[in-house]
């Protein structure tokens, strides 16, 4: 009897620990998205501040590198979050689904890619 209660208690602690891990994974994913958006912002800011630099392709190339780094951060964050979701199943918490993580990743990546295109195609005089 006492052993059954200990087993149930141990299982409950394990389940709660897994739920905390899932929530921590979601916070980590959000942190990586913020880092990626920071990279995109640095790229855009660099282009805005140094647009008169000569030759004109240099600030665009540097801005493109930062925005591309942001895309890479988005994709890597999604892959890492998906790997954790595959390993651990939620018990009490409602976890964000992998589809939602993928949609967020691809929307942000598409927006950043559009920004790269705009950097190179826009004529700012």
Nearest to residue 62, comparing CAs of 30, 87, 39? 39
pLDDT at 118 over 70: yes
Q: What is the pLDDT of residue 4?
A: 65
Percent of the chain, pLDDT > 90? 54
Q: Read off the pLDDT band of 3 (50, 70, 90).
A: low
Please give the pLDDT value at position 9: 74
Distance CA 46, CA 63 (A): 6
Mean pLDDT over 84-109 rounds to: 85
pTM of the model: 0.84
Task: Compute the C-alpha angle 104/69/111, nearest 5°.
Answer: 40
């Amino acid at each position: 009897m006492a052993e059954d209660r200990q087993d149930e208690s141990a299982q409950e602690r394990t389940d709660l620990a897994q739920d905390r891990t899932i929530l921590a994974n979601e916070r980590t994913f959000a942190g990586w998205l913020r880092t990626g958006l920071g990279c995109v912002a640095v790229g855009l800011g660099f282009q805005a501040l140094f647009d008169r630099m000569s030759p004109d392709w240099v600030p665009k190339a540097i801005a493109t590198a930062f925005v591309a780094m942001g895309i890479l951060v988005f994709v890597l964050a999604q892959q890492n979050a998906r790997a954790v979701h595959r390993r651990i199943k939620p018990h009490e918490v409602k976890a964000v689904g992998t589809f939602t993580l993928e949609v967020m990743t691809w929307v942000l990546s598409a927006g950043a890619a559009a920004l790269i295109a705009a950097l190179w195609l826009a004529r700012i005089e």
